[in-house]
Chains A and B, each alone.
Chain A
């Protein structure tokens, strides 16, 4: 049966109106021309997001170096990297959570708890292998993450509230255990303390390892069903439910991953700083969320990459160090981080608005 003519007259005459425009459609101009160009535009913007951070980074380094050539001393570069490593690692875990439209504010407290408990093992258990200490830190983190994930996924409490609560609870447990004490570097084995400091030229081996981990994380999120489903959940939860995605399960595991990574980061923190009291990792969650957002991950989920988040962490660490080297009071640090967040989010919003408008206009032109 042919679709056009019918007993009651042709369909086209009283043509229905498309939402983004009016007038009869033009059969000679299929929508493909529009979709191609808009896709290219979007692709460019998405790529720009990571390229943009690298560009800001390069500009910053260039300016800082021109003012104070000491900025690109190998020693200084090494310092930037060792600062960035822990934030980049935490940002990786945080991104996994944020992609599904959640947030994990407890990472700083998990890091603190893991840092103390794992490094204390060296004095508790003689000749404990370093690997075992890392595994202990990982286990602590996984347990903390599992608690977060269970409450969010099963009890359906918003993650902002849950992890704000566990931020305090995990820190309280930390304070309870540590009391006024601390672990000092002299109780830690030299091999442990040299993990963050051994380097290939100015680049610590650890930085290479973290970069590798981020790359693996990016691959997993891009190429495996659970990863894609996290993006889907964050992009449109209703559609995710209709598509039969096991949302509770995915969200639970995203918190376990974030917790586990924070646990590992705790061990690295202990190795990096050597002195661990109950303030380890205090306020880290704010910098981590900042790095994630500055790195182009949408705070409402659905888009962004772990590579961007890690670059965001590197950018923040570079700025911190630059302020120090340039002799600017570190008082300005939080202000600059804050400005970057506002800038990143405004940019995101602006791009989305521009894009939506451009696409809608295109649709009208296409329709008329």
Chain B
């Protein structure tokens, strides 16, 4: 795999930056793709891989930097212009037209025509068959896309790329939802694409796959490229080190109350196709983190524990009593609180006032004769706002006027005011500035000290290390590791989450 240096890249990004508000998702990121290579793009969650893909796909326009196709600078105004430049993107969750046939999905917007500008259905079918045949895929071009497995949906997207004669094919975590057989098939496809001279950008968390099919690798961290070189001579340990890279942030010294009573115990919880055989316990006074990659099934597990989603097998016990499944109100009555992942959608009523949001989970206590007393609500909210050091104008302001961090405090106040036995927090500090992040962490630790059992789902390894007494790592719907306070290092968590077990923890 030498000699790339003398060739002209088919596609390159030069020092591209992209910010969303105050968050810099990409910072002077660069990438070169050459004909006939499969190039791996790896990095931790939030390293900027998805943003980079969306820049390539024409979904985002970079704030700074240049994008060159065959050495010529291009500006992609729309996804269609990226497609016309020969760049095809296969997303983890393909976007198909469920009501239309496979062939129509492949050719939508650019159907072959025959006399009278009529769509040439026979040609469409033939060309899809021509493309799928060599891949060894038997997929009827006439069937509708609804009900296709993710693997087959990806095949449809690949067929799209092939009929386009795409020069660059970006695959964003294509194997995340595939069975081993389907992964094999996909690898065959990548090989075929390479032999045709296309460049494949392959994004995956599974390092063994990266080594299996790619020739070169680019590692990203914090929106930047930290490494870009041939894979030959690199070990997976090298990659993990490059992905983690940063100095470890300070971690809390508090040790969990070892002797605390078991508050939550989850026994062999299974939801078909989502998570399998999940068992763990959370004791009072300790913070347990559920770590893993995005899509590993962590949020799904806590949603099932809280009763939002159903599960197929297993039990959830709170303080020794089994919870009926599928009922959040029963979970709440048992003393469980859930701070959801997306506070804007699931945690808050954005148009309502701060006071109303704080009181929302405690309406029973704030009402007399089933009528809500505003004055009591105000007092109640004022108390909790002070305890959480909420920064606000007036309690009657809509919660949407607060910053992200303060909104998160409102959600926390809502649940803390119920004095829960068990608090589940899903991604507690996503999109929150560093100062407020530290405060949220402090709050969680204080809460645990006061005897509450805390279960934190977090994709940010430093956060997990800072707050957790114990770390459970999930991968592909299963619990793959349980790490005590001492064993839990960034390296160990990333290795377990990506399936690199041979890497010494």
Q: Interface of A with B (CB < 8 Å)?
A: 1, 3-12, 14-27, 30-32, 35-36, 38-39, 42, 223-225, 228-229, 231-232, 234-236, 238-245, 298, 302-303, 355-356, 359-360, 363-364, 366-367
Judge whether B149 and A224 touch: CB under 8 Å. Answer: no
Those 8 A-B pairs whose CB atoms lie nearest each other, nearest first: A244-B80, A25-B181, A25-B179, A3-B187, A32-B138, A359-B147, A15-B180, A39-B143
Residues of B contacting A12 with CB < 8 Å?
180, 183-184
Q: Which residue on A lies nearest to B93, using beta carbons?
A: A19
In the bound assembly, the distance between CA atoms of A32 and B80 in angstroms comes to 31
Judge whether B181 and A356 touch: CB under 8 Å. Answer: no
Instruction: Decide if the interface of chain B is mainly helix, strand, loop or mixed.
Output: loop
Which of A25, A238, A303 has a CB less than 8 Å from the CB of B99? A303
Residues of B contacting A355 with CB < 8 Å?
146-147
Judge whether A26 and B181 touch: CB under 8 Å. Answer: yes
Minimum CB–CB distance for B103 against chain A, Å: 11
16 contacts between A and B (CB under 8 A): A6-B212, A8-B207, A9-B502, A15-B180, A16-B178, A17-B273, A18-B273, A21-B273, A22-B273, A36-B143, A225-B119, A231-B99, A239-B97, A241-B79, A244-B110, A298-B99
Judge whether B99 and A16 touch: CB under 8 Å. Answer: no
Assess A235 versus B99: contact at CB under 8 Å? Given A3-B191, A14-B499, A38-B147: yes
In the bound assembly, the distance between CA atoms of A226 and B330 in angstroms comes to 52
Q: Interface of B with A (CB < 8 Å)?
A: 78-80, 83, 95-100, 104, 108-111, 113, 117-119, 121, 138-140, 142-144, 146-152, 175-184, 187-188, 190-191, 206-209, 211-213, 215, 235-236, 272-274, 276, 476-477, 499-500, 502
Residues of A contacting B182 with CB < 8 Å?
18, 25
Instruction: Decide if the interface of chain A is mainly helix, strand, loop or mixed.
Output: loop
Residues of A contacting B502 with CB < 8 Å?
8-9
In the bound assembly, the distance between CA atoms of A31 and B151 in angstroms comes to 10
Minimum CB–CB distance for A275 against chain B, Å: 43
Judge whether B209 and A24 touch: CB under 8 Å. Answer: no
Judge whether B208 and A18 touch: CB under 8 Å. Answer: no
Judge whether B118 and A224 touch: CB under 8 Å. Answer: yes
Q: Which residue on B lies nearest to A241, using beta carbons?
A: B79
Assess A228 versus B212: contact at CB under 8 Å? Given A7-B235, A16-B175, A239-B96: no
Minimum CB–CB distance for B67 against chain A, Å: 18
Minimum CB–CB distance for B250 against chain A, Å: 33
Minimum CB–CB distance for B268 against chain A, Å: 14
Judge whether A42 and B477 touch: CB under 8 Å. Answer: no
Judge whether B144 and A243 touch: CB under 8 Å. Answer: no
In the bound assembly, the distance between CA atoms of A35 and B361 in angstroms comes to 47
Judge whether A243 and B476 touch: CB under 8 Å. Answer: no
Residues of B contacting A35 with CB < 8 Å?
138-140, 143, 148, 152
Assess A3 versus B212: contact at CB under 8 Å? Given A32-B139, A355-B147: yes
Residues of A contacting B79 with CB < 8 Å?
241-242, 244
Residues of B contacting A1 with CB < 8 Å?
191, 212-213, 215
Judge whether B150 and A19 touch: CB under 8 Å. Answer: yes
Assuming A3-B188, A15-B180, A16-B175, what are 10 further A-B pairs, CB within 8 angstroms?
A8-B236, A22-B477, A35-B139, A36-B143, A42-B144, A231-B100, A235-B99, A242-B80, A302-B98, A364-B272
